[in-house]
Amino acid sequence: MRPIADVASDLGLSANDIELYGRDMAKIPLDSIPSNSAVAGNGRGKLIVVTAITPTPAGEGKSTTAVGLVQGLAKIGKRPALTIRQPSLGPVFGQKGGGTGGGRATVQPAEEINLHLTGDFHAIESAHNLLSAMTDNVVYRHQIDGFEADGITWRRVTDAEDRALRNVAVGLNGDGPMRQTGFDISAASEIMAILALADGYEDLRDRLSKVVVGWTRDRTPVSAEQIGAVGSMMALLRDALKPNLCQTLEGQPALVHMGPFGNIAHGCSSILADRLAVASAEYVVTEAGFGADLGFEKFMDIKVRQGGPEPDAAVVVCTVRGLKYHGGAALKELAVPDADAVNTGLANLRNAIRIVNMFGLQAVVAINRFPEDTREELKAVKSAAVEAGAQAVVEANGFAEGGDGMKELAEAVVAVADRGSNVSFIYQEEDSIIDKVELMADRLYGAERVQWGRMTRTTARRFEANGWNFPICMAKTHLSVSADARLRNVPAGHVFPIQELRVSAGARQIVTLAGDIMTLPGLPSRPNALDIDLDENGQIVGVLGT
């Protein structure tokens, strides 16, 4: 690997502008990141957002494609940078394994990034759970009139996939206010979302102060500011707000910052990382979680609306085997040639391109290649993608060949990004919460109607009465365009059930839980944790397995 100070120089930063974390990682202090006005005044690099078809259990390789594209851009003489999300320990020790790409298209040092990195997630978990403890203490000591145990809505978080903590009772034996509550995965923490969206310490403090931890008996919201937790949370989060500098396997700058889980959170890397990257590089590649109907939609409707740089183009990643799955093929048969299944599953790719175009972006389709893909299958994908409006369709070979296998994709992306975009949104800020959700259900998910759960519409109106008419953060399965994981491809005419609404006033979004969505995953029957170890040479092994 290159010395991290040399990598920083590619972003116009000197050794004095970074804070070293060992030899291979560094933090970027906020005074090294230009303001929005400075970026606009000096011109900025082109931003490319990588999204995908609806994910399948086989995996589509979106992170691998994003990393490989940056390496490919460098191979054709461009000055690129990557902004990518930090992996959560839940999937690392669970089923997915590492989240730093794969093969010859990875971010390094991969083991450290996948485990603790610079401690950001630990800081977030500590700040979040400190707020929980302080909230319970305020209720226990009756310090806010009318604020009682059953009025607390703030849940705790963990970075482990521990299903036993989804629903818990706390305060037993009189040790604090007794109540039913639960844990979420730390990537779904509002503190995570706030750090990804904040543009500095002043904004961070303002957002933290507005976090809603519960309600009094007369339905008045109680904030973190009233609890008195903001100062301590700021101290815990001081360094976590700073983006982390790493590098691709081929030495390009990679800013690794903030959260995954685009199904239950907005799942994008930080605005600060994007701002630094577009101010310093010619082309910046970023990644949005899961498919176009989830992470990409949230990238646009939440991140861009709240100050993130507007993207100039999108890459839609697909695989032949993923299209077979959406076309009805069994998971164990995805390596078997099946042109009919591919042709049926192409509806999902068309839908992803449609969603990208809906937001005013042009799409390049990247077919993440596998050895068993046939010429007939690849030809069908290319033809259908162009007919659906893709500006180019390119086979991506980053896993096997690194940047050399991504040069054609890089050329295609440059051509589209240089033309720019005409960003638009599918709903207006002033639309009601109910109207926003119903518009999304129709235009994004193909639902016949929304089925509102008990008290959800009343809750939506109560949120609006408090001035919280924010963008929607839809929490639903990532395995279907619908809210039912069993419905593959592009289901239509289904009912879209909204079970619960949560306000994230600091992150300025309304979280709507659709269907049987879990905000704390559980471990699979054979978790990846069984393969992770320290070998006799002190090297970590097994982290990158899937």
Q: What is the pLDDT of residues 323-355, one digit of tens each?
A: 999 999 999 999 999 999 999 999 999 999 999
**Angle value at C-alpha 136, between 131 and 142, nearest 5 degrees:** 125
What one-letter code names the amino acid at 107?
V
Alpha-carbon span 76 to 99, nearest angstrom: 26
Closest CA to 473 of 199, 217, 266: 266
Fold classification of 121-237 is Domain 2, N(10)-formyltetrahydrofolate synthetase (3.30.1510)
Is the dihedral angle over the CA atoms 487, 492, 493, 498 positive or is it negative?
Answer: positive
Q: What is the pLDDT of residues 407-427, one digit of tens each?
A: 999 999 999 999 999 999 999
Q: Where are the domains of the chain?
A: 4-119+240-417, 121-237, 433-514
Q: Are 91 and 233 in contact (CB under 8 A)?
A: no
Average pLDDT over residues 89-101: 83
- DSSP string for 338-397: -HHHHHHHHHHHHHHHHHHHHTT--EEEEEE--TT--HHHHHHHHHHHHHTT-SEEEEE-
Alpha-carbon span 469 to 472, nearest angstrom: 9
Instruction: Supply 143's token pair.
Output: 């310090």
Average pLDDT over residues 485-501: 96
Asked, as a colleague might, if the bond just before 109 is cis with ω within 30 of 0, I would say yes
pLDDT at 545: 54
Q: So what CATH class is 4-119+240-417? A: alpha beta
- DSSP string for 4-73: HHHHHHTTT--GGGSEEETTTEEE--GGGSPPHHHHHHH---EEEEEEESSP-TT---HHHHHHHHHHHH
Architecture of domain 433-514: Roll (3.10)
Average pLDDT over residues 439-458: 97
CA-based end-to-end distance of the chain: 24
241 has pLDDT over 70: yes
Q: What is the pLDDT of residues 166-216, one digit of tens each?
A: 999 999 988 888 899 999 999 999 999 999 999 999 999 999 999 999 999
Lowest mean pLDDT among 28-37, 315-324, 396-405, 472-481: 28-37
Q: How buried is 332 (Cβ within 10 angstroms: 0-12 exposed, 13-18 middle, 19+ buried)? A: exposed
- DSSP string for 207-263: HHHT-EEEE-TTS-EEEHHHHT-HHHHHHHHTTTTSPEEEEETTS-EEEE-S---TT
Instruction: Supply 104's token pair.
Output: 């010859």
Closest CA to 191 of 236, 144, 142, 128: 128
Taking every pair of Cα atoms in the chain, the longest distance, rounded to a whole number of angstroms, is 70
Whole-model pTM: value is 0.95
Average pLDDT, the chain: 95
Phi, psi of 417 (to 5 degrees): -65, -35
Contacts of 265 (CB under 8 A, 6+ apart): 187, 188, 189, 192, 193, 259, 289, 473, 475
Q: Are 185 and 257 in contact (CB under 8 A)?
A: no
What one-letter code names the amino acid at 189?
S
Average pLDDT over residues 275-280: 96
Q: How buried is 85 (Cβ within 10 angstroms: 0-12 exposed, 13-18 middle, 19+ buried)? A: buried
pLDDT at 546: 43
Q: What is the pLDDT of residues 117-128, one digit of tens each?
A: 999 999 999 999
Alpha-carbon span 248 to 68, nearest angstrom: 9
Instruction: Supply 135's token pair.
Output: 């909230």
pLDDT band of residue 261 (cuts 50, 70, 90) is confident
What percent of the chain stands above pLDDT 70? 98
Closest CA to 327 of 311, 312, 343, 314: 343
Q: What is the pLDDT of residues 132-151, one digit of tens each?
A: 999 999 999 999 999 999 99
Alpha-carbon span 109 to 2, nearest angstrom: 11
Q: How buried is 289 (Cβ within 10 angstroms: 0-12 exposed, 13-18 middle, 19+ buried)? A: buried
